[in-house]
Structure formats: structure tokens, C-alpha cells
Amino acid sequence: MKLISRSSAAKALTLAAVSALVLSGCAAAPEETTDAAAVDFLACAVSDEGNWNDKSFNEAVYTGLLQAEAELGVTINALESATPEDFEPNLQASVDAGCDIIIGVGFALGDAITKISAENPDLHFALVDSTSESTNVKPLLFETAEAGFLAGYASADYSTSKTIGTYGGLPFPSVTDFMTGYYYGAMQWGIDNDTEVTVLGWDPMAPDNGDFMNGFAPNNPEGLAIAKTQLQAGADVLLPVGGNQFTAAQSAIDELNPDAVMLGVDVDIAAGNPDLAPYIFTSIEKRMTIATFDVIKALVDGAAFDATPYVGTLANKGVAITAFTDFASKVSSGLADKLAELEAGIIDGTYKPKG
């Protein structure tokens, strides 16, 4: 670990110059104050389509950068991608700035980060939610089916109709893993309670029949239509997996069943969106903040770059379900203990969240 030198200052100046040349709409996130002694390390990230304040996975990664800045003393740079066309220019800007690690947020950056990393084999990259054929890209992956299993079990327990629903953006593993865990968790509740549970929108044994929005646009009109269809079919718990679909789901709930609830994904949606808290039963978290910080810290501490995937699990606290917050007084009295038992069983292999 080295204190910032003239070369480090030059690196920061280069970064500022490069950032100014990034395509219109790709703004750098504002600088934050650094609490730790500065070190000679530049940690960079490129967002998925959207911004760093999306209250979802972009923001979770950015929070990890801020933590690294404050606790490790690194310099950070975070470039926003207004559209997918900004991925490559933002990645190239980070390369030109001499970043020590470049983190791509989301599987949508997969092709761009594979291309840029292959052209720069001596640099280090990380990619959230996907893998790459490049040997200098570290995948940051999350076993969301594990936390999804807990959420599905709790949802079936809470449901009065014993019909719950889920739908996704596109049938990618990073989407369907949430849905699969949710499905098998609900089925486990049915087995434990000798009660039939119906999951609308997804059956892992019949994936071609799943409900998908064909995209990830926020509050997708197609997602709204699916939510309404599932509510009309009796679902009183919804799991939309496709980024920010929560206002649309809220609208469907208000119109068709005000007693219904929904689940958040990626981050603690209730904590970041107080207006949605009365609708959010729990959230299935991918703790990307922890993963981002840990990857940076390892390099700052002097570890050699390792492209072996980081995998967030229940065991390492990389995935979880959040507190029931507004619904804590409404869940079954024994649910918390049962979920703790299930979590231990998932960790030791007794329960199989992917079937």
C-alpha cells in the first residue's frame, strides 16, 4: 500500500480529463470526502443503463465504492451509462484513466467488458451478475435462489389465497434464479403444511411458459399487465424481477387488491423507498455493496488479482432476505424460527433452492 505520489496525482488529473470526453449523458458521480489516509489506488465502475441513484443494483455498487473510498482511502470514479451505447466508451475511459479495477454493473455489460478486457489483458476487471471468457475479469455472482427460497416460503405462509405470482424482465439466469428459489420455497411450505400452493408466472420444469416483460424498462407497461393478470387470478403476493417495477406493481395492487403485497429484489426496497414500504413484504437482497468493497479491499491489501468468481451465498451473507418491517406484526409467530431452520438447511444442503 503506497501513499499518493506525484504519479497518483497525475493519474487523477488524467481521469478528470478523460471523464470530460465521455459521451453525452455519461456523467461521473459526485466526489465524496475521504476519511481514511489516501492510498495509490483508483477504483472505477461503469453503471448499467440508468444512474447511480436508482435505489437498486447500480446504487448498491456505488455504495461499495464510497465505502472503499472512506475506509480504504482509494480514489474512486463512477461513470453513468445513459444508454447501452455508453458501455464501451465508459469502459474505455476507465482504461485510459489507469484504473486499478474496473467494475461493470450488470450482465448487460458482458459483451462490452469482454471486448475491452481482451484488448487490455494486463488490467483488472469485475463483472456483476455474469461471467466472461476473459481471464482478467472476476465475476461477482449471487445465489439468489437461496434467499428466494426463504422469500417464497414466507410468501406462501403470508398469503391468504395460497396463490402467489412472479414475473421477470427476460429469461436470464440472473432473473430466473430469483423466481426458481421463490417457487421451490413456496412448494416447501405446501409440503410442510399439507396445503396446495399455486405459483403463477414461473415453473422451473416448464420455463417456456414463464411470464416475462421482454425487457427491463422501469415500470414496464407489460409488467403492469402481467401484475394485473396475476392479481385477477388470485395472487396476493407478487415478485417482479426486472429492476424497478415497483410503482407499476403498486398501481396494479391499488386497483385490484389493496391487501396484496409485493417483494423487492436486489436491495432493500422498503428502506430506500419509504412510499413503497407499505407494499413491500420483504426484499431478496444481492449484497453487491459487500462484494464491491471486498474485491477492492483485497487488491488494496496486496492480494494478487484472482479471476475466480465471487459467489454471494447465505453462508457468507452475500444474499439474504430483509426484515419484514411494516409486516412484522402480521407474519406467523413461528415464521422467523422456521426461516432460520430453512437457512441452516440450505447451507448444509438439506434443502435445494434450485430443485
36 & 162 share domain: no
Query: Does residue 54 share a domain with residue 158?
Result: no
Provide the pLDDT for residue 35. Answer: 67
Query: In 3-state terms, what secondary structure has residue 199?
Result: strand
Predicted local confidence at residue 23, as pLDDT: 36
Q: Determine if residue 34 is left, alpha or beta; phi over 0 gives left, psi from -120 to 50 gives alpha, anything else beta.
A: beta
Number of domains in the chain: 2
Q: Where in the chain does DSSP place strands (E)?
A: 42-49, 75-81, 101-104, 125-128, 137-142, 163-168, 198-200, 237-241, 261-266, 280-286, 310-312, 319-321
Asked whether residue 23 falls in the same domain as residue 163, the answer is: no
In this structure, the answer to whether residues 248 and 292 fall within a common structural domain is no
For residue 1, being part of any structural domain is answered with: no
Q: Are residues 258 and 333 in the same domain?
A: yes
137 close to 126: Cβ distance less than 8 angstroms: yes
Range of the domain at 97: 6-142+288-312
Q: What is the mean pLDDT of each run of 10 residues along the chain (355 residues)?
A: 31 39 40 71 95 87 97 97 96 98 95 98 97 96 98 98 97 95 98 98 97 92 98 98 94 98 96 95 96 96 96 97 96 97 98 97
Is the domain of 38 the same as that of 102? yes
Task: Answer for the pair 178, 241: CB distance below 8 angstroms, yes or no.
Answer: yes
Judge if 92 and 211 occupy the same domain: no
Whether residue 119 sits in one domain with residue 205: no
Residues contacting 19, CB < 8 A, separation 6+: 28, 77, 79, 93, 97
For 78, list phi and psi in degrees, rounded to 5: -125, 115
Question: Is 318 within a domain?
Answer: no
Tell me the CATH number at 109. Answer: 3.40.50.2300
